[in-house]
């Protein structure tokens, strides 16, 4: 059986939570491979709603192992809070169902503070960060001055690493006119949190290799969406990590051949949180209707999402960059009742038709969508569990999307309920 990577094929918030939960029931191990607690999944299981940010989706299911890979930046205080919240809901998180990569980078209080200071001082140039310290932590990682999970094991050697870190951060804070970080206070904070995190620490790349060779099914769970990728997204309005499928290998320590099938998640329309280009954005009544019907508010931030028509240009681009084998199309039911729906099939850039999103910020801001108008459907798709129960026009809409993006829709979600899912091809099958 193949392993499966799940990635967002738009700007995040595509409904990955339900799909990952649906798949995690059939997986043995669920791995988070990038991002931090700036993204989240909402899972509804047995009438209970679980909101996860750092924890892999598998931890809420008995007998599954969740792994936080080395590509994730971990706020240990946020992680402990999340573990406690699940405990209050009756889900026990122990070493039996959670392991943390020893070489993962930590998010510290100084990262959160710097993140917020930068956004406050950016004015109209704000990127739209969540202010949770994700970007500054990744900066320290590539700057080779980060405190990593394994550093919590040795209080004697951590002093020198804190000194190296503070040379950089205190210089920044002084330039911003802010108080310097107190070394003793930071060390005390780390010493206090260490015993709560260390029981979960493991050599996860080796663990995953052993389990893979033993024939266990592994589900690699991405956060956010491919259009927020630091290299391939709408830069600079992106996140600070690689969100494309290839990061599943790098961010978990397995070889690329071990990754397996790539399942992309896309909404039947498009949404985006925060700043940045959005060619098909609708600021009219239709956009408002999409947001209301789709309950478009961020799981973590609660921020209202911008809404627009399905952008086949962007999803086709993501299919190529991520090597997506199949698309899970979600929230088809939100389009029920529209007399007509539109699909973006190309862009107009200064009078020239193009079939990709420009890499440059100014070009991205200038593109105008070229639409194809599609007849809508009046019958409801909500709760449909077979193709036969879908309105004929809705089926045509899905099939046309397949043609436009050059990729089959292998799974269709028709409501937030996990069983309201139509499966055309099993992602775990070779």
Chain centre to alpha carbon of residue 169: 28
44's tokens: 């509804």
Q: What radius of gyration, in Å, describes the C-alpha atoms of the chain?
A: 22
Q: Are 208 and 67 in contact (CB under 8 A)?
A: yes
Separation of alpha carbons 310 and 341, rounded Å: 9
Other Cβ atoms closer than 10 A to 102 = 18
Separation of alpha carbons 10 and 236, rounded Å: 16
Tokens 């059986």, residue? 1
Residues in a beta bridge with 330: 267
| Residue (of 220, 275, 233) closest to 10 by Cα position | 233
240's tokens: 């600070």
Q: Are 252 and 70 in contact (CB under 8 A)?
A: yes
Separation of alpha carbons 217 and 185, rounded Å: 43
DSSP label at residue 238: S
Chain centre to alpha carbon of residue 111: 20
Tokens 């943390």, residue? 100
Active site residues: 13, 41
Separation of alpha carbons 161 and 105, rounded Å: 13
394: Cβ–Cβ under 8 A, 6 or more apart, which residues?
Answer: 332, 335, 377, 379, 381
Peptide bond into 236 cis (omega under 30): yes
Q: Are 394 and 400 in contact (CB under 8 A)?
A: no
Residues in a beta bridge with 98: 66
Q: Are 290 and 307 in contact (CB under 8 A)?
A: yes
What is the enclosing helix (H) or strand (E) of 327? strand 326-330
DSSP characters over 390-417 = S-HHHHHHHHHHHHHHTS-EEEEE-SSS
Separation of alpha carbons 367 and 355, rounded Å: 11
- String of b and e for 328-356 (b: at least 16 CB within 10 Å)? bbbbbbbbbebeebbbbbbbebeeeeeee
Separation of alpha carbons 200 and 101, rounded Å: 9
């Amino acid at each position: 059986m193949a392993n499966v990577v799940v990635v967002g094929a738009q700007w995040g918030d595509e409904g990955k939570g339900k799909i990952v939960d649906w798949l995690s029931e059939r997986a043995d191990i669920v791995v988070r491979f990038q991002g931090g607690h700036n993204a989240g999944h909402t899972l509804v299981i047995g009438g209970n709603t679980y909101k996860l940010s750092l924890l892999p989706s598998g931890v809420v299911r008995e007998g599954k192992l969740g792994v936080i890979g080395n590509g994730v930046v971990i706020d240990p205080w946020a992680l402990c809070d999340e573990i406690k919240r699940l405990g209050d809901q009756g889900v026990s998180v122990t070493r039996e169902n959670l392991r943390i990569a020893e070489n993962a980078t930590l998010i510290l209080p100084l990262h959160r503070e710097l993140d917020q200071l930068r956004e406050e001082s950016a004015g109209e140039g704000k990127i739209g960060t969540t202010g949770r310290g994700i970007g500054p932590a990744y900066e320290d990682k590539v700057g080779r001055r980060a405190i990593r999970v394994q550093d919590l094991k040795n209080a004697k050697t951590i002093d020198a690493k804190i000194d190296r870190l503070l040379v950089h951060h205190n210089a920044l804070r002084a330039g911003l006119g802010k108080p310097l970080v107190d070394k003793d206070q930071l060390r005390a904070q780390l010493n206090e949190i260490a015993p709560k995190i260390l029981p979960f620490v493991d050599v996860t790349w080796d663990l995953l290799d052993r389990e893979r060779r033993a024939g266990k099914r592994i589900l690699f769970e991405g956060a956010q969406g491919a259009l927020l990728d630091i290299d391939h997204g709408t830069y600079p309005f992106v996140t600070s990590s690689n969100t494309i499928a290839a990061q599943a290998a790098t961010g978990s320590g397995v070889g690329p051949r071990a990754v397996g099938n790539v399942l992309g998640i896309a909404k039947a329309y498009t949404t985006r949180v925060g700043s940045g280009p959005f060619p098909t954005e609708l600021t009219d009544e239709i956009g408002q209707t999409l947001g209301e019907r789709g309950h478009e508010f961020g799981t973590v931030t609660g921020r209202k999402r911008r809404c627009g028509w399905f952008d086949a240009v962007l999803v086709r681009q993501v299919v190529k960059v991520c090597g997506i084998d199949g698309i899970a199309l979600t929230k088809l039911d939100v389009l029920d009742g529209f007399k007509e729906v539109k699909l973006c099939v190309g862009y107009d850039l200064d009078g020239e038709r193009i079939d990709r999103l420009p890499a440059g910020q100014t070009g991205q801001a200038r593109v105008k969508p070229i639409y194809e108008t599609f007849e809508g459907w009046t019958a409801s798709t909500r709760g449909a569990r077979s193709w036969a129960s879908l309105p004929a026009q809705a089926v045509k809409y899905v099939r046309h999307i397949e043609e436009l993006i050059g990729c089959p829709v292998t799974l269709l979600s028709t409501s937030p309920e996990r069983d309201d899912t139509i499966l055309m091809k099993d992602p775990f099958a070779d």
